[in-house]
C-alpha cells in the first residue's frame, strides 16, 4: 500500500474525525472503505444540495424529515423515495417510526460533535462546479455549530483533468477544494481525502500550496459539470465529453468580441445579478460564445483571450458598447433556441393538434 496513504490514515484516525455532508451516499461508502466511518450521521445515505446542507446546519435540522411527495422505484417494488425541499431519501422508510427515531439519533450525534476531542474534517461532494461558490458560507455554518479551531471543510469537485487541491485564502487553511478526476466512482475520493488531511496538519501546511483568494474565484478555474437534481435523482453527472464538444462546435451561438475595457478588461460576474461575486476581468479582444442572453446581460463561454472561461458580462456600460457580435449563430443553434421559446411551444402544440386530425 502507498506509504503516503498509510501515513495520512494514521494522522486522520489519531487526530481527526471524518464526517460526510453528502451530496450522495457514495462518499459514505468511500469513508467506510478507508476505515473512517465509525458512526452514522444524518447526511450519510441521501441526496442533498449545498443549499440544503447550509439550511439544516443553520436550523439545527428543523423539518429534516418533512417530505413533499413520495414515489416508487420501478426496479424495486415496495421501495419508496421521499422527495423534500432540498434533498431526497433513497434508503429509508420515513413513514416508519423506527426509521424516524434512527434519524433523530443521528442528528443528535451530529450536533454533539463539539464534545469530541478531535479535529473535525467535514467532506462535501459537489453536485456541480457552481456549488463551490458557497464554500465560505458552508464553512461559516459549521463554525457556528462547532467553533473555529475544531472545524475543517473539504469540498470535492469531480470531472476535472487532474487531481489538484486548492487552499482558500483568508480562513487559515480551514477550507480546501479538491479537483478530482472521479466522475461517479466514489472510491476515487480517497485521493482528495488523503491530500486534505496532509494539508491541514501543521507540519505539512508549511510547504507551498496551491491557493485561491475565494470560492467564487475558484469556480472559473474548474471544468464545468452538473449532477442531476438531488431532490429527484441519483448522483448522475452531465459534462462535456469529446463527442459533446464536437457537437457544440456545430451548435454555436453568436460569437462576441470584447471591444472596450482598455488594459483592465471588462467586469465578469459569477451570476446574472450585478451583485453576484466578481471574477477576474475579461481582456479586450477576447472572443466569447453566447450561451444565454438576458436583456443586456450575456452568459458566455470563452473561445480565446484572457479571463474566466465562463461568466456573465454586460453588453453596454453608461451608453458605451463593451462587446460586439462578430459572427451569426448557426442554424442548428437558432432552431434549438426557437424550440425552447414560447413560439416554439405553440408550434409543437399546433403540430400535435394537426396529427390528431
pLDDT of residue 242: 40
Q: Which of 225, 160, 156 is nearest to 195 (CA)?
A: 156
Q: Residue 287 is placed in which grid cell?
A: 472572443
Residue entry with cell 434508503:
91
| Euclidean distance between CA atoms 238 and 111, whole angstroms | 34
Judged by DSSP in three states, 212 sits in strand
Enumerate residues 6+ apart whose C-beta is below 8 A from 117.
none
pLDDT of residue 22: 95
| Euclidean distance between CA atoms 51 and 231, whole angstroms | 12
Dihedral of alpha carbons 132, 134, 138, 143, sign: positive
| Euclidean distance between CA atoms 1 and 135, whole angstroms | 33
- Other C-beta atoms lying within 10 Å of the C-beta of residue 146: 20
Domain ranges of the chain: 3-226, 246-328
Q: Residue 242 is placed in which grid cell?
A: 469529446
Q: Could you tell me the mean pLDDT of each successive run of 10 residues in the chain, 357 residues long?
A: 62 80 95 90 96 97 94 68 94 94 98 92 94 96 94 95 91 94 87 86 55 87 86 80 45 80 90 85 90 89 83 92 77 52 55 52
| Euclidean distance between CA atoms 235 and 256, whole angstroms | 35
Bridge partners for 290 per DSSP? 300
Burial of 259 (0-12, 13-18, 19+ CB in 10 A): middle
Paired sense of beta strands 119-125 and 16-20, if any: parallel
Q: Residue 126 is placed in which grid cell?
A: 459537489
Judged by DSSP in three states, 232 sits in coil
pLDDT of residue 237: 84
| Euclidean distance between CA atoms 229 and 219, whole angstroms | 19
pLDDT of residue 233: 87
Burial of 223 (0-12, 13-18, 19+ CB in 10 A): middle
Instruction: Provide the CATH number for the domain formed by 246-328 in this structure.
Output: 2.30.30.40
| Euclidean distance between CA atoms 34 and 123, whole angstroms | 14
Q: By the 8 A CB rule, do 54 and 155 touch?
A: no
| Euclidean distance between CA atoms 102 and 108, whole angstroms | 10
Dihedral of alpha carbons 100, 102, 106, 109, sign: positive
pLDDT of residue 250: 47
**Exposure string (b/e) for 44-80, b if CB count within 10 Å is 16 or more?**
bbbbbbbbbbbbbbeeebeebbebeeeeeeeeeeeeb
Enumerate residues 6+ apart whose C-beta is below 8 A from 350.
none
Q: What is the DSSP letter of 34?
A: T
Amino acid at each position: 500500500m502507498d506509504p503516503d496513504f498509510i501515513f495520512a490514515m494514521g494522522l486522520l484516525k489519531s487526530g481527526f474525525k471524518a464526517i460526510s455532508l453528502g451530496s450522495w451516499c457514495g462518499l459514505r461508502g468511500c469513508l467506510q472503505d478507508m476505515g473512517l466511518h465509525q458512526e452514522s450521521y444524518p447526511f450519510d445515505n441521501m441526496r442533498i444540495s449545498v443549499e440544503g446542507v447550509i439550511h439544516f446546519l443553520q436550523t439545527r435540522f428543523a423539518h429534516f424529515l418533512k417530505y413533499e411527495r413520495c414515489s416508487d422505484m420501478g426496479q424495486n417494488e415496495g421501495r419508496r423515495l421521499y422527495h423534500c425541499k432540498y434533498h431526497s431519501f433513497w434508503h429509508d422508510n420515513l413513514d416508519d417510526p423506527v426509521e424516524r427515531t434512527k434519524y433523530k439519533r443521528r442528528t443528535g450525534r451530529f450536533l454533539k460533535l463539539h464534545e469530541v476531542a478531535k479535529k473535525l474534517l467535514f467532506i462535501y461532494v459537489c453536485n456541480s462546479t457552481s456549488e463551490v461558490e458557497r464554500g465560505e458560507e458552508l464553512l461559516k455554518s459549521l463554525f457556528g455549530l462547532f467553533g473555529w479551531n475544531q472545524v475543517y471543510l473539504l469540498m470535492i469537485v469531480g470531472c476535472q483533468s487532474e487531481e489538484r487541491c486548492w487552499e482558500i485564502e483568508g480562513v487559515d487553511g480551514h477550507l480546501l477544494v479538491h479537483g478530482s478526476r472521479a466522475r461517479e466512482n466514489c472510491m476515487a475520493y480517497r485521493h482528495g481525502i488523503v491530500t486534505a488531511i496532509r494539508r491541514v496538519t501543521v507540519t505539512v501546511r508549511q510547504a507551498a500550496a496551491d491557493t485561491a483568494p475565494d470560492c467564487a474565484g475558484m469556480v472559473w478555474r474548474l471544468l464545468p459539470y452538473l449532477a442531476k437534481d438531488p431532490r429527484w435523482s441519483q448522483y448522475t453527472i452531465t459534462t462535456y465529453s469529446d463527442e459533446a464538444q464536437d457537437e457544440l462546435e456545430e451548435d454555436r451561438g453568436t460569437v462576441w468580441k470584447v471591444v472596450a475595457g482598455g488594459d483592465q478588461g471588462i467586469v465578469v460576474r459569477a451570476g446574472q445579478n450585478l451583485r453576484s461575486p466578481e471574477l477576474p476581468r475579461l481582456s479586450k479582444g477576447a472572443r466569447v460564445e453566447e450561451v444565454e442572453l438576458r436583456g443586456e446581460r450575456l452568459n458566455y463561454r470563452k473561445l480565446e483571450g484572457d479571463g474566466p472561461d465562463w461568466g456573465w458580462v454586460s453588453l453596454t456600460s453608461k451608453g458605451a458598447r463593451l462587446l460586439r457580435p462578430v459572427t451569426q449563430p448557426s442554424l442548428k443553434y437558432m432552431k434549438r433556441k426557437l424550440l425552447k421559446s414560447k413560439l416554439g411551444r405553440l408550434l409543437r402544440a399546433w403540430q400535435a393538434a394537426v396529427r390528431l386530425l
